[in-house]
Amino acid sequence: MSKRDYYEVLGVSKDVDGPTLKKAYRKLAMKYHPDRNPDDKDADAKFKEATEAYEVLGDEQKRRAYDQYGHAGVDGQAGGGFGGGGANFSDIFGDVFGDIFGGGGRGPRGGPQRGSDLRYTMELTLEEAVRGVEKKIRIPTLTACTTCDGSGAKPGTKPKTCNTCHGAGQVRMQQGFFSVQQTCPSCRGQGTQIDDPCTSCHGRGVKEETKTLSVKIPAGVDTGDRIRLSGEGEAGAMGGPAGDLYVQVSVLEHKLFHRDGRNLYCEVPISIVDAALGAELEVPTLDGRVKLKIPAETQSGKQFRLRGKGVLPVRGGPAGDLLCRVQVETPVSLNAEQKDLLMKFQASLTGEKHSPQKKSWFEGVKKFFEEI
């Protein structure tokens, strides 16, 4: 019976690159692996066919020979197991079996196991993040059962070694020329079995509880920063150590300030008169009000820097700055007299010296239309 084209077997084109080829084979291997289809002979045949195809196309030398001569160029080189310098089967099968068997090849899971790490997102105001704060949080977690001291067995008894895996937590399976390890189905990888489980935790060794913790947030933290509380995560299984709790900081938006690293930014509205004649204004900072001198003829969008009025970084270094960007406001709700005064003021302006940006803008517009 003639063999199918290897590219057709894997469902890829002849110009396929290495990562795509590996992905295609991995998908087929997981779908047709004999351990997933114990009673399906067609699946076993398709698995071997895909493996043979990948062994050839995954090796540059064999792939060149196959592209030039077809199956005749590689007969006797494919399907012969893992040797011969072919494709990286330890890599590909490590990935495949890790998904099929829940982490195959990582070793036994029997005995005490460290608890899972937990994450708690803490929302802070900008003031709290800049100055630091201490807050109490309540978190649901798993803690060691006090009745059985975390063993899962009824007091006076203890877990016994699993008769199936003899404490290894895994069993070895032989399928054709493959030999793989699988999580022990009897003890589910624990390596031990409990005949008489604890009535409080029902053999789990842990109980669900809610605990209150006090968390000290240092000054200068920002969104994305994490604080680790060692041993405050979930309790370990079978008496193992607890995991850690990571408190992740999320800083809320502020009504006046925008933070970028160690610097703060704010918008300061000023009147046309203050912008034209100059003025001294009070502007807010996180430490209180300060004086900001606005020079005469200030244009809208001008930015002023107040040094040292920003944030002192949590990781050290000098404090940042506060950058104030002025926005010149157009007066609204004018009465007849005010409108008349503005008209007279407009008429008093002669020449182009009073509008420094107007001349250059119109020149740019004129040039734009001339070039169309």
Q: Helices (H) and strands (E) in the chain — how many of each? A: 9, 15
Identify the domain boundary among 251, 276, 309.
Answer: 251
E strand or H helix that includes residue 68: helix 60-69
Do residues 244 and 144 both lie within one domain? yes
Structure tokens at 337: 């007299």
Do residues 273 and 332 both lie within one domain? yes
Of 52, 54, 48, nearest in space to 26 by CA = 54
**Which long-range contacts link 5-14 to residues 24+ away (Cβ below 8 Å)?**
6/52, 6/53, 6/56, 6/57, 6/66, 7/53, 7/57, 9/49, 9/50, 9/53, 10/50, 10/53, 10/54, 10/57, 14/67
Identify the domain boundary among 251, 268, 299.
Answer: 251
Position 111 in a domain: no
Do residues 299 and 348 both lie within one domain? yes
Contact 292, 322 (CB under 8 A): no
E strand or H helix that includes residue 178: strand 178-183
Binding-site residue positions:
145, 148, 162, 165, 184, 187, 198, 201
Q: Give the other-Cβ count within 10 Å of 183's Cβ.
A: 20
Contact 295, 281 (CB under 8 A): no
CATH number at residue 334: 2.60.260.20
The residue with tokens 């105001």 is 125
284 by Cβ neighbours in 10 Å (0-12 / 13-18 / 19+) ranks as middle
Do residues 75 and 148 both lie within one domain? no
The residue with tokens 């709290």 is 128
Q: How far is CA 209 from the centre of its chain?
A: 28
Binding-site residue positions for Zn(2+):
145, 148, 162, 165, 184, 187, 198, 201
**Per-residue model confidence (pLDDT) at position 149:** 80
Structure tokens at 368: 């734009």
Do residues 50 and 71 both lie within one domain? yes
Structure tokens at 221: 């933290």
Q: Hey, is 264 helix, strand or coil? A: strand
**Per-residue model confidence (pLDDT) at position 361:** 73
Do residues 197 and 285 both lie within one domain? no
Dihedral (Cα; 279, 285, 287, 293), 10-degree rounding: -20
Structure tokens at 309: 């009025």
Number of domains in the chain: 3
Do residues 84 and 147 both lie within one domain? no
Position 10 in a domain: yes
Identify the domain boundary among 225, 251, 277.
Answer: 251
Beta bridge partners of 193: 160
**Per-residue model confidence (pLDDT) at position 238:** 64
Position 106 in a domain: no
116 by Cβ neighbours in 10 Å (0-12 / 13-18 / 19+) ranks as middle
Please give the chain's pLDDT, 372 residues, in tens: 568 899 999 999 998 888 888 888 888 887 887 767 777 878 888 888 888 888 889 888 888 888 887 887 777 555 443 333 344 444 444 444 444 433 333 334 445 678 888 899 999 999 999 999 999 999 887 777 888 887 888 888 888 888 888 777 788 776 555 667 778 887 777 778 888 888 888 887 877 778 899 999 999 999 999 999 998 888 776 667 888 999 999 999 999 999 999 999 999 999 999 999 999 999 999 989 999 999 999 999 999 999 999 999 998 899 999 999 999 999 999 999 999 999 998 888 876 677 767 767 777 777 777 776
The residue with tokens 């000054």 is 219
The residue with tokens 């590909």 is 92
Do residues 34 and 157 both lie within one domain? no
Q: DSSP per residue over 44-63, as a string?
A: HHHHHHHHHHHHHHTSHHHH
pTM of the model: 0.54
**Per-residue model confidence (pLDDT) at position 98:** 40
State how far the Cα of 165 lies from the Cα of 104, in Å rounded to an integer.
Answer: 15
Domain range holding 340?
A: 258-366
Do residues 176 and 206 both lie within one domain? yes
**Per-residue model confidence (pLDDT) at position 76:** 58
Q: How far is CA 115 from the centre of its chain?
A: 21
Instruction: Work out whether the CA dihedral 286, 289, 290, 296 comes out positive or negative.
Output: positive
Dihedral (Cα; 184, 186, 191, 194), 10-degree rounding: 170
Do residues 78 and 131 both lie within one domain? no
**Per-residue model confidence (pLDDT) at position 329:** 93
State how far the Cα of 268 lies from the Cα of 127, in Å rounded to an integer.
Answer: 20
Do residues 361 and 268 both lie within one domain? yes
Eight-class DSSP state of 352: S
**Per-residue model confidence (pLDDT) at position 101:** 39
Is residue 323 left, alpha or beta, with left meaning phi > 0 and alpha meaning psi from -120 to 50? Answer: beta
CATH number at residue 163: 2.10.230.10
Position 276 in a domain: yes
